[in-house]
Amino acid sequence: MSKLQTALGYKFKDLVLLDQALTHKSWGRENKASDNERLEFLGDAVLQMSISEMIYKVSPELSEGMMSKFRSALVSEGGLARVARRIELGDALNLGRGEEQTGGREKVSILADALEAVIAAVYLDSYTQEGQGAVKQLISNLFGPEMELAEEFYENADSKTDLQEWVQKNKLGTIEYKITEERGPDHEKEFVVTLFVNGQEMASGTGNRIKKAEGKAAKKALAQLKGELV
């Protein structure tokens, strides 16, 4: 638990809470101990609220629909398990014999549930003295790297979706993205993507990933079509 607390950047005042958060129901049944299912329920709510607030603050241009998709990707089982693996949460779990033998420490569902339970444990352990400050800081630390990638993806997807809807609504034809230039060495590659609407060149965008360059081109093209400055 000491290693996990270091990875979390949080030191528990009540280690019983952390131990419960790490206890899978298979261990609980075998040892007649409390498991982490109730903590998981609370952690899910705390996480949803904190992630929603983070998205609201860092991505003011995202529509409500894209914000929902952004949040869903971050708090999906796969997203939670990815974060759990990064802090090696599986190594600290209390698992029953059956789960231990069948690779429970790497199961996506077990890791995701345990991470939510740990978040709830931090919330309960810190709330009296720190309010929501400690758990929000924890979630920011854990999900910051995930948010940077997801934010870029959904901002770009939003721009491309908005352009597609505008073009279809005004019957302007088809949209095509072409990589027109690649710059720099492989480890610092930059792509230039040119966007065409019905065969006519509209705008170009650059980025260290093709999707990022496409998103920038889409944003510029939509602004031009609407007669706005970019």
- Which residues define the annotated binding site for Mg(2+)? 40, 113, 116
Q: Report the sign of the C-alpha dihedral through residues 29, 30, 33, 34, in that order.
A: negative
The CATH number of 2-151, from 1.10.3720.10, 1.10.1520.10, 3.40.50.1000, 3.10.129.10, is 1.10.1520.10
CA distance 94 to 135: 23
Distance of CA 93 to the CA centre of its chain: 23
Q: Is the separation of the CB atoms in 198 and 188 below 8 Å?
A: no
Domain ranges of the chain: 2-151, 170-225
What is the 3-state composition of the chain as percent helix, strand, coil, each rounded to the nearest 5? 65, 10, 20
Q: What is the pLDDT along the chain (230 residues), one digit of tens a residue?
A: 899 999 999 999 999 999 999 999 999 999 999 999 999 999 999 999 999 999 898 878 777 887 888 888 889 898 899 999 999 999 999 999 999 999 999 999 999 999 999 999 999 999 999 999 999 999 999 998 887 666 666 666 678 888 998 999 999 999 999 999 999 888 788 999 999 999 999 999 998 888 888 988 998 998 888 885 44
Number of residues in the chain = 230
Sheet holding 190-197, edge to edge: 175-183, 190-197, 200-207
3-state class (DSSP) for residue 140: helix
Global pTM value: 0.69
Q: Domain 170-225 belongs to what topology?
A: Double Stranded RNA Binding Domain (3.30.160)
CA distance 50 to 39: 16
**Which residues are designated catalytic?**
44, 116
